[in-house]
Structure 1
Amino acid sequence: MSNERNGFDWFSFLLGILFIFASLTSFQDPTGNLVAIVVVFGIFAIIKGIFELFLRKKVREFTGISSTMPIIVGVFDVIVGIFLLFNISAGVIALPFVFAIWFLVDSFVGLFSSGVLKNSSTGYYWFSIIINILGVIVGFMLLMNPVSSALTLSFLVGFYFMMFGITEITYAFR
């Protein structure tokens, strides 16, 4: 799925476009149906989890370092996605908390694993640090005020999808 000859990663690029499209859809109708958000969020959680599991192999090939964190995050994402798809009413209630925890876990993993990027690309390293620090801040804000996060869920989902989409597109051009 990626063209290794010129360093362009098509899978990351297409995944980034898909997430940006999902974010723009989320921004378009903030008062939309929470059930639709739960379903879309569940599907994207599963896709992202599978991507994280495949990413582990690429990180090992690129850096020579074997890490279990992408496996943990990937399995967590898949479990969250399955939970949301098969328990929609519980998903609507739990989504603000799940989303806050997901933000925090992904952002902390991103911060801890960004050190390997420093040797290959300083620009991508700092971009990753800034995006993940913003993710930690937003995650704590969501966790501390779940009622407010439920009311603004469309914007929060859009922000997360936009952040992940931009990160993936940037990674594709690395």
Structure 2
Amino acid sequence: MGAPRPALADAAPGTIYDPDADDVVQAELAADAAAAATREAELRESARIATRADELQALRELGTMEQTEPRAGDEAARDELTRRAGGYVQADIDGWLAHGLAAHLGRYRDPAAREEAASLLTPPVLTHAALLAELARLVPDSDMDQLAFTARLAITEPEAAVALAAFLTRACPPHP
């Protein structure tokens, strides 16, 4: 903190108050501006998430989700869609994210994004991705329709699905 400010009453007669020279006023104005900038950034981010959620919903309704790859922020868009649906999670959105994560598509090409996904996606989605990755490694020509059972297993028996993914990894280690 700086030196104590003289009280306005202690100012010389005829002194005109200048808020531009008042450190306290300037600090308050700076804090207000920073808070406004933070609110504006939060609003822009919310709008971006809502727009992406609308895009994903449209792709979902058209049955063309597989034609796009996950982008940064899609986990938040998933959460927005879940919020809009009153807690109901759309299985096809989760399946699309799990497939993207397992196949390292879109944003998930980056190992840091895959690591970040572990804190952003739900355990069933992560488990589904782990199963997809292991089964695709074991049967490279399999397609997502053939592996649809993995989503049901990850949702209904998550502990068993995690154990199965770990077992498959151990039973058939990747080739060097």
TM bucket normalised to smaller: under 0.3
**TM-score, normalised with respect to structure 1:** 0.27
Structure having the larger proportion of residues in helix: 1
Q: Which structure has more RCO (C-alpha within 8 Å, separation ≥ 6)?
A: 1
